Structure 1
Amino acid sequence: MGHKIAIRVKPLKQWSDVSNATRHGKREDPAKHVDRVRTHLNQHWRSMTDPKNPEKRRLFPQAEPVDIAEAFRDLAQHRGAKWRKGAIVGTEMLFIASPGFFGPPGPRRDEKARRWAEDCLRAVMKRYPRQIAAARLDLDETTPHFSVFMLPTYRKEYAGTERKSTRKPRLTISHNQTFGTPESLSALQDWAAEAMQEAGHALERGEPKATKGPDHTTPAEGRRRLQEAEGAARGIRKAAEAEAAQIVSQALSEAEAIRQKAFPMEVRKLREENTDLKRKITAWEGFRDLTREVLRSILPEALFERFRSQMNERWATDPRNPDRRAPDPPPRPAPGSSFSP
């Protein structure tokens, strides 16, 4: 199965949505899926007046994240485009590709993502000339993706049914006029695959919704579903571990029961001997402590300490002591000296 490319079209309905897009580009929002160590690798573009030809505009690379609202207003003013009251402010086109297309993490993947983003940008500028306000390549998330922020425009004509209108045509910003039908969005997916193949990228169109069913999953929704799936997997794993532990415990209990059933007399005898041994040890420890208390009460302290020291020393080498130490060897005669028993 080949690698896929798809475009998600998101209307920025209010200026607050535009501000949120700017905050996300500047990484001022609390996005948990962002690797802040790699944020400096992200790339940014903005539409600006061409110094060599003030009548034209070009997309210039930017060192810092772009203020999308400022870029929208600047482009609208340059083109003389107007927003209708209550209309959608602008559009974000999100280009995404299969993770395997970019390869394993590293400099080669980043460079491939940059070439891919530049080809996406050239293609979208050709399809929607003079409508792109800004763009951003995100390399600090799990999979590289490319966002294009645009002001989709059309020339609104005023034509009366009975008499010709005197009002001049006006360049109007309208998301719905460009992306308002399922057919237009489906054609956009076909175009993206064709454009990438023409640019030399081994990418093909994703499976149409008519085949796989409707899916309006956003990246945030996708991450939420992934987290839910991971949580469910952890729950299943814990339940399996608990069940395995219960099975092991039950097996050990059954094995012990079988052993006791097979050797009942031996087990009973060993238990009785163990109980008797514990009782004798307890009695001996009590007798030892009592002897120590009596001796301490009738002997002076210095004499008691001498007695205790001698007892410990003799017991340390006594043959009846299972932990006895070997007695010190007799001193060896000095060289040249005689020795007689």
Structure 2
Amino acid sequence: MLTTTPAAHVAHAIIRIEKIKTRQGIGQRQAHNDRSKYTPNADESRSHLNQEYLNTENQAIVKLVDKRMEAAGLGKPKEGAVLCVEVLITAGPKAEIWQRDKQTGEAADMRGSEWEKETLAWAKREWGDNLVAMKLHQDEKTPHFQCFVVPILGKGGGLAGEVNLENSKGARLSARDMFSPQTLSQLQTDFAEAMQPFGLERGIKGSRAEHKTMRQMYALGGEKAAEIAPLVEPIEPQPFVLATPPRSLFGKGLEEWRAKQQEEINAEIARQVEAANKRLGTVGAVAVAASGAAEESERSRTWAGDSLQKADAARNEAKNAQDEVKKEASQAQAERERHAAELDKVLLQVAQGALPADLLQRGQDLVAQQMDDLRQAWPVPAALRVQAEQAEKAGDYGLVAELRYGKVLEAEQQVALCREQVQVTPAGRALIAELEEADRKALAEAQKQVEAQQAAETREKERVAEQERLAREQAAEQARAQRAAQEQAVQEEEARKTQQAATDAAAAKNETAERPQDAGSWEQNPQAGAFPTQIIDQPSQDKDEEIDWY
């Protein structure tokens, strides 16, 4: 009897792609992505758990694709080219990272989780600027990311776009190369390695398993019971008859025969297990489809019920609005008929030459009110223009724009409306002429004031210029006087020096003339060998006073 041990469940890292060739297709995928159209397998009560990470302003993804191509220097893509690739990133529904509620089976909120952060970082590393939108969906059974990638390769093509493209001369759009079988296999491997910390593994490399779409899974639910029933019947084990070994075998020959028989036994066991697994896989898929179909049916019924209630409410609201419109139309028609009757009565009285006094007074009051309105509105535009000029001089350009392109235009429109109302009467036309004449006089007076101010400014400029000229002349005269004084001082100093020199020369001459003759003789013959003496004939004040010798 053969016994097997159930293998532990292995959660796989899952990444799938879908190529989109048309702009309409991109729009449809975005409508599904942001839930702007009905999504059968989405739970509206969990839609608040969805989150966008890149296209946070919810721009049209078509425009984001166009911007990415323009940034890469690409022109209009060829007809039939893949414009964008939608990438699904998730894990198996039984993965432990979902931390499902034991009662409801709902996955935990993955926002802020390490799985969310690592997946987002991995996608940015892998596709760089080619990744234009990435959203986490948590309103379906299993949380997953949906990414939109522009398949640009070569120079400017992002991180993934540079792999194995040494001969590339520039950026180009090619989903065939970016998501080829080889690059897809490597993509699966790289993503699985990034997901290993979360207990996720790569699927079987080189597996030929075909992934069924949701539509195909739902189609399985339509199988007839008669076709499914044989698949769930118990499998009768098929006995394997072991051949009798020939008596001539012994030693090494017997071992070889035994190994061959064992290989045949294992092959038979594998065949039966594969057949059982195939039947169980089909039944499981049908069960999943049936469960999904039932859940979808319930959601559809709920959605249909809500839609019917909304439709009934809309019909009631429309009926009420229609009744209200009919009522208002009826009241308006009655009011028009009443005014028409009153007008006929007035016209009849006018034709008879008898205008009602109350009507006449009402008309006069109306004309007077319209004329007052015109008087009040007439000066407003000019006043606002003056304020705008003052604001412009003060540098308040925001106020300038508000006045000139807002309030001034509104004031002019108000004046035009009032003017149109009053000009139908002689008094109104006279008022308009009076206001226009006042404007002309005010303009002429303003022009005179401007001219007078300009003349005053001119005179002031001339006065200032004359003062400056006189100041310059006075400064020049002072400079000349100062220079003359300096020159005179120099001359006086030279004269003083000359006079002093003459005085010194005369004094020296006098001193020479007053010296004794002997001294002069000695000076003439200094070699005589005797010193001349001079006896001073002067009474001595002291008998013992010595006589000075010279």
TM-score (ref. length: structure 1): 0.53
Q: Distance in 1 between matches of 2:42 and 2:58?
A: 15
2:108 partner SS: helix
**Deviation of the 1:206 alpha carbon:** 1.8
2:14 counterpart of 1:21: no
**Deviation of the 1:150 alpha carbon:** 0.8
2:14 counterpart of 1:43: no
Q: State which of 92, 97, 103 in structure 1 corresponds to 2:99.
A: 103
> 1:261-340 alignment to 2 at 5 Å?
none
Q: State which of 49, 68, 73 in structure 2 corresponds to 1:80.
A: 73
2:154 counterpart of 1:155: yes
Instruction: Kindly indicate whether the alpha-carbon contact (under 8 Å) linking 2:100 and 2:108 is maintained by their aligned counterparts in 1.
Output: yes
1:215 partner SS: coil
Q: 1:103 to 1:32 in 2, by over 3 A?
A: same
The gaps in structure 1 that reach 5 residues or longer are 48-61, 157-167, 235-341
Instruction: Kindly indicate whether the alpha-carbon contact (under 8 Å) linking 1:46 and 1:71 is maintained by their aligned counterparts in 2.
Output: no
Instruction: Kindly indicate whether the alpha-carbon contact (under 8 Å) linking 1:44 and 1:66 is maintained by their aligned counterparts in 2.
Output: no
C-alpha distance after superposition, 1:274-331 (max 9, x if no partner): xxxxxxxxxxxxxxxxxxxxxxxxxxxxxxxxxxxxxxxxxxxxxxxxxxxxxxxxxx
Residue 88 (structure 2) aligns with? 94
1:111 partner SS: coil
Structure 2 counterpart of 1:116, one-letter code: W
C-alpha distance after superposition, 1:176-218 (max 9, x if no partner): 11113x2222221111100112xx21110123353xx330423
**Deviation of the 1:227 alpha carbon:** 7.4
Structure 1 counterpart of 2:100, one-letter code: P
Instruction: Kindly indicate whether the alpha-carbon contact (under 8 Å) linking 2:221 and 2:289 is maintained by their aligned counterparts in 1.
Output: no
Residue 282 (structure 1) aligns with? none
Q: Distance in 2 between matches of 1:114 and 1:223?
A: 32
**Deviation of the 1:72 alpha carbon:** 1.4
1:204 partner SS: coil
**Deviation of the 1:69 alpha carbon:** 1.4
> 1:202-241 alignment to 2 at 5 Å?
202-210=199-207, 213-225=208-220, 229-230=286-287
C-alpha distance after superposition, 1:239-292 (max 9, x if no partner): xxxxxxxxxxxxxxxxxxxxxxxxxxxxxxxxxxxxxxxxxxxxxxxxxxxxxx
2:141 partner SS: coil
Instruction: Kindly indicate whether the alpha-carbon contact (under 8 Å) linking 1:134 and 1:149 is maintained by their aligned counterparts in 2.
Output: yes
The structure whose Rg is larger is 2
Instruction: Kindly indicate whether the alpha-carbon contact (under 8 Å) linking 1:84 and 1:172 is maintained by their aligned counterparts in 2.
Output: no
Residue 172 (structure 2) aligns with? 172
Q: Distance in 1 between matches of 2:46 and 2:179?
A: 33
Instruction: Kindly indicate whether the alpha-carbon contact (under 8 Å) linking 2:107 and 2:143 is maintained by their aligned counterparts in 1.
Output: no
Between Structure 1 and Structure 2, which shows a larger proportion of helix residues? 2
> 1:183-202 alignment to 2 at 5 Å?
183-197=182-196, 200-202=197-199
Instruction: Kindly indicate whether the alpha-carbon contact (under 8 Å) linking 1:19 and 1:69 is maintained by their aligned counterparts in 2.
Output: yes
The gaps in structure 2 that reach 5 residues or longer are 1-8, 156-167, 224-285, 292-550
Q: Distance in 2 between matches of 1:205 and 1:32?
A: 30
Q: Distance in 1 between matches of 2:290 and 2:179?
A: 39
Of all paired residues, the percent bearing the same amino acid is 28
My pick for the range that moved more, 1-10 or 70-79, is: 70-79
Q: 1:233 to 1:206 in 2, by over 3 A?
A: same
Q: Distance in 1 between matches of 2:135 and 2:143?
A: 11
Aligned residue pairs, count: 204
Q: Distance in 1 between matches of 2:71 and 2:186?
A: 29
Q: Distance in 2 between matches of 1:113 and 1:217?
A: 31
Instruction: Kindly indicate whether the alpha-carbon contact (under 8 Å) linking 2:220 and 2:289 is maintained by their aligned counterparts in 1.
Output: no
Instruction: Kindly indicate whether the alpha-carbon contact (under 8 Å) linking 1:81 and 1:153 is maintained by their aligned counterparts in 2.
Output: no
Structure 2 counterpart of 1:218, one-letter code: T
**Deviation of the 1:172 alpha carbon:** 1.4
Residue 136 (structure 1) aligns with? 135
Structure 1 counterpart of 2:139, one-letter code: D
Q: 1:232 to 1:38 in 2, by over 3 A?
A: closer
Q: 1:70 to 1:4 in 2, by over 3 A?
A: same
When the two chains are superposed, the root-mean-square deviation of aligned CA atoms in Å is 3.1
Instruction: Kindly indicate whether the alpha-carbon contact (under 8 Å) linking 2:154 and 2:170 is maintained by their aligned counterparts in 1.
Output: yes
Q: 1:12 to 1:207 in 2, by over 3 A?
A: same
1:94 partner SS: strand
Structure 1 counterpart of 2:175, one-letter code: H
Instruction: Kindly indicate whether the alpha-carbon contact (under 8 Å) linking 1:155 and 1:169 is maintained by their aligned counterparts in 2.
Output: yes
**Deviation of the 1:100 alpha carbon:** 2.1
1:8 partner SS: strand
Q: Distance in 1 between matches of 2:147 and 2:288?
A: 33
Structure 1 counterpart of 2:192, one-letter code: A
Q: Flag the structure with more relative contact order, 1 or 2, with Cα contacts below 8 A and sequence separation at least 6.
A: 1
Residue 59 (structure 1) aligns with? none
Q: 1:231 to 1:177 in 2, by over 3 A?
A: closer
Structure 2 counterpart of 1:30, one-letter code: Y
Instruction: Kindly indicate whether the alpha-carbon contact (under 8 Å) linking 1:209 and 1:215 is maintained by their aligned counterparts in 2.
Output: no
